[in-house]
């Protein structure tokens, strides 16, 4: 996995919505192939950061660069060949079939005549995620966990270099949370993609992410490995809760148990 190329670089970024300072003087970057978890209290600017990286919004001040080029300099379709976004609700339970939705991920790669130069990629992704037998089922006939897997298949078919995830496990039960994160880890291992994921579950973040970016009130509070950042003092400072932090028995990464207030 080549870590020498910078996937994203943010320098001196400010973003304001009305009277709310969403991001204030944020400078940060991720190397190609890294998996970053973006964590912090509600309203800390996590989703705003993803919107800037996806090109949906631009900064009021500062620079957002994707693979060395300003995000605003890319044409929309060009940027969509590099960056894919998966929201927390994945795909809604609509009447499209699984295959229809996965094929939508190929739109950025269609030529001027609407032809796809990699026609077999949809079938390969469906097979890889165990969705081949569900290919002709409508989304409104699937469970929430199955729909989130379809959403992942869609962005895999998009074949990006950078994947942005906004709380992707929010509506999933424990089984599907773990399955989803393991599918991401396998995709990253095989393709070397860069993953930047907003996550609320610090235990999942510690198990799967190489590094964490901590935001609070629009500013960077910390950037480093889960082992360096997830301490009892830091958890109290960032989230206002007391906790026990101990190593996972399999991987030794920090895991949290929250203390009840007496």
Domains of the chain, residue spans: 6-82+160-258, 92-159
**What is d(CA 235, CA 240) in angstroms, rounded to the nearest whole number?**
7
Q: Confirm if 31 and 7 have CB atoms less than 8 A apart.
A: yes
What local confidence, expressed as pLDDT, does residue 30 receive?
97
Mean pLDDT value across residues 54-70: 94
- pLDDT over 90 for what percent of the chain? 71
Q: How confident is the model at residue 113 (pLDDT cuts 50, 70, 90)?
A: low
Per-residue pLDDT at 248 exceeds 90: yes
Q: How confident is the model at residue 121 (pLDDT cuts 50, 70, 90)?
A: confident
More confident call, 193 vs 112: 193
Mean pLDDT value across residues 96-114: 82
- pLDDT over 70 for what percent of the chain? 93
Residues 8, 11, 17: CA angle, nearest 5 degrees:
100
What local confidence, expressed as pLDDT, does residue 202 receive?
96
Per-residue pLDDT at 173 exceeds 60: yes
Give per-residue pLDDT as tens, 129-167.
889 999 999 998 988 888 888 999 999 999 999 999 999
Per-residue pLDDT at 3 exceeds 60: no
What local confidence, expressed as pLDDT, does residue 114 receive?
61
For residue 167, what are its two tokens? 């709380």
What local confidence, expressed as pLDDT, does residue 91 receive?
73
Q: How confident is the model at residue 115 (pLDDT cuts 50, 70, 90)?
A: low
More confident call, 262 vs 129: 129
Mean pLDDT (the chain, rounded): 90
Per-residue pLDDT at 117 exceeds 70: no
Closest by CA to 154, choosing from 93, 104, 96, 87, is 104
CATH of region 6-82+160-258, choose from 1.10.10.10, 3.40.50.2000, 3.40.50.300, 3.90.1150.10: 3.40.50.300
Closest by CA to 26, choosing from 217, 236, 161, 234, is 217
What local confidence, expressed as pLDDT, does residue 5 receive?
67
Per-residue pLDDT at 2 exceeds 50: no
What local confidence, expressed as pLDDT, does residue 132 receive?
92
Q: Confirm if 150 and 102 have CB atoms less than 8 A apart.
A: yes
**What is d(CA 5, CA 9) in angstroms, rounded to the nearest whole number?**
11
């Amino acid at each position: 996995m080549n870590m020498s190329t910078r996937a994203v670089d943010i320098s001196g970024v400010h973003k304001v919505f009305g009277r709310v300072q969403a991001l204030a003087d944020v400078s940060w970057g991720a190397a190609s192939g890294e998996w970053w978890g973006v964590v912090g209290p509600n309203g800390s600017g996590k989703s705003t950061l993803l919107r800037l990286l996806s090109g949906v919004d631009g900064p009021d001040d500062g620079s957002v660069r994707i693979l060395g080029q300003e995000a605003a300099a890319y044409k929309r379709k060009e940027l969509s060949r590099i960056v894919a976004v998966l929201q927390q609700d994945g795909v809604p339970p609509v009447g499209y079939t699984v295959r229809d939705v996965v094929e939508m991920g190929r739109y950025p790669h269609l030529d001027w005549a609407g032809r796809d130069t990699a026609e077999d990629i949809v079938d390969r992704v469906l097979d890889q995620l165990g969705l081949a037998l569900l290919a002709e089922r409508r989304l409104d006939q699937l469970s929430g966990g199955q729909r989130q897997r379809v959403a992942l298949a869609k962005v895999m078919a998009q074949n990006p270099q950078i994947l942005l995830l906004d709380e992707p496990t929010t509506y999933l039960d424990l089984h599907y949370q773990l399955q989803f994160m393991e599918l991401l880890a396998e995709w990253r291992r095989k393709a070397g993609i860069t993953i930047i994921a907003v996550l609320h579950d610090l235990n999942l973040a510690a198990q799967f992410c190489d590094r964490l970016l901590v935001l609070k009130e629009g500013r960077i509070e910390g950037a480093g490995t889960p082992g360096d950042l997830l301490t009892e003092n830091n958890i109290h400072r960032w989230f206002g809760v007391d906790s026990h932090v101990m190593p996972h028995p399999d991987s030794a990464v920090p895991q949290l148990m929250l203390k009840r207030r007496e």
